[in-house]
Structure 1
Amino acid sequence: MVRILMSKKPRRPGAKIKKHQHLKNNIMAKYSKKAGEKVEEALHEQKEGKLKSGSGKKVTSKKQAIAIGLSEARKEGAKVPKKKD
């Protein structure tokens, strides 16, 4: 039995198929290993309650801890995308 392969059709009328969905698994890393290690370190410190922001206050937000880790990695020259304005 021969099966004809056809592109997937949307499940409902008006639904769109995502562009470049077939490339999902071939995405290159945005951050270097060094940057990943810095973020991991910052998150660990945040969980222990030892991570402090520039003003000296304790960091409680996970997002803020990640931002601090990326910032530290940037200062050390690691491959990290530019900050968004």
Structure 2
Amino acid sequence: MTVGDLIDRLSACDRDAPVRLAINPFFPMAHRLGGMETSVDEHGRPMVYIAESPKAEQFPLPPAVAVALTWQESSEAPPRRRRRATRPTDGH
């Protein structure tokens, strides 16, 4: 993903919505964003780094988000069938 891709995606979002960074598909958590720095990689290409907040709070990632990111499969409960009523027979 490039900075342009990120800007395009974010431009469709509510400007007042908090931003969280989803981390670790095996133990999905959301992290508050902190600072941002630019640098270059080992080949001299420009890079942008987004850091976690110094407050370092983690929040459980909503299951629907983990499913949308394809980190988990949907885990909807199977439909319930109506049980037949049991009646005592012969007074027992």
TM-score interval, normalised by the smaller of the two chains: under 0.3
> Structure 1 or 2: larger helix share?
1
TM-score (norm 1): 0.21
TM-score (norm 2): 0.20
The structure with more radius of gyration: 2
Instruction: For CA contacts below 8 A with separation 6 or more, give which structure has more relative contact order.
Output: 1
